[in-house]
């Protein structure tokens, strides 16, 4: 079942999110230390401008997706997609696709275009986004610097709603 994540899901979401950051440091710009430093309740407060949806297997959160919306009138035609994460044991079952389609179905009517960034060395995610109709419009070199001093380039992709 896919449903909107709520402020009261914070603990469940943070547990999954910390696992995601540990498993895939290149895939997301956030890091575990910054998440642990966050004031409790802050995540829930962000949900209004950045809604999130979760795939639940009973009470187990198997995957999540976030959507970034702007409160600025001149930016309301754009929505950012991400983060997107599906736990390893739930992969390959169409859950990322279902999370994405659900998130799009919940977008405000004024959104015209979807944008996202993906690590240039993440072929699985790239294949998923291409299947969803996204194309690359730019490359951000050295977008992420990892603790070992290496850099990741990010491909920026978009598609019409
Ligand atoms: C990328 C990720 C979200 C895919 O989740 P998923 O639920 O397994 O994806 P789906 O089952 O919905 O896949 C849908 C389609 O995407 C493509 N795809 C997904 N994962 C892929 C992979 N590892 N390699 C190649 N293609 C892949 C396939 O075309 C697939 O369709 P198919 O199964 O009919 O071939 C998941 O592997 C994940 O969370 N990875 C780690 C975090 C990450 O990279 N997030 C994205 C950050 S931008």
For the chain, the domain total comes to 1
Q: Locate 36 and state its tokens.
A: 């642990």
Highest mean pLDDT: which range of 9-13, 30-34, 62-66? 62-66
Q: Would you say residue 48 has pLDDT above 90?
A: no
Q: Which is the closest atom of ligand 1 to the Cα of 117?
A: 48
Q: Locate 53 and state its tokens.
A: 């949806």
What value does the mean pLDDT take over residues 82-92?
98
Burial of 15 from C-beta contacts in 10 A (0-12 / 13-18 / 19+):
exposed
Domain span at residue 106 reads 2-160
Mean pLDDT over the full length of the chain: 95
* Residue 79's CATH number: 3.40.630.30
This prediction's pTM: 0.96
Instruction: Return the pLDDT at 39.
Output: 84
Please name which of 80, 101, 128, 124 lies closest in space to residue 2, comparing C-alpha atoms: 101
How far apart are alpha carbons 111 and 122 in whole angstroms?
Answer: 27
How far apart are alpha carbons 161 and 139 in whole angstroms?
Answer: 21
Residue 87's Cβ-side half-sphere holds a number of Cα atoms within 13 Å equal to 16
Any ligand 1 atom below 6 A from CB of 6: no
Which tens digits make up the pLDDT trace of 128-138?
Answer: 999 999 999 99
Q: Locate 27 and state its tokens.
A: 């895939």
| H or E segment to which residue 40 belongs | none
Q: How far is the CA of 62 from the centre of ligand 1 (A)?
A: 13
Q: Would you say residue 58 has pLDDT above 80?
A: yes
How far apart are alpha carbons 124 and 77 in whole angstroms?
Answer: 28
Instruction: Return the pLDDT at 143.
Output: 96
């Amino acid at each position: 079942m896919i449903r909107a994540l709520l402020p009261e899901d914070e603990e469940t979401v943070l547990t999954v999110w910390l696992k995601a950051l540990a498993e895939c440091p290149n895939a997301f710009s956030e890091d575990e230390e910054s998440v642990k430093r966050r004031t409790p309740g802050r995540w829930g407060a962000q949900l209004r401008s950045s809604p999130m949806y979760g795939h639940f297997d009973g009470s187990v959160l198997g995957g999540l997706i976030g959507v970034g919306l702007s409160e600025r009138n001149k930016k309301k035609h754009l929505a950012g997609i991400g983060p997107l994460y599906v736990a390893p044991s739930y992969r390959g079952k169409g859950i990322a696709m279902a999370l994405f389609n659900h998130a799009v179905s919940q977008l405000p009517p004024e959104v015209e275009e979807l944008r996202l960034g993906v690590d240039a060395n993440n072929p699985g995610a790239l294949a998923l986004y291409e299947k969803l109709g996204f194309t690359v419009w730019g490359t951000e070199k050295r977008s992420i610097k990892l603790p070992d001093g290496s850099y990741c380039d990010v491909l920026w992709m978009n598609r019409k709603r």
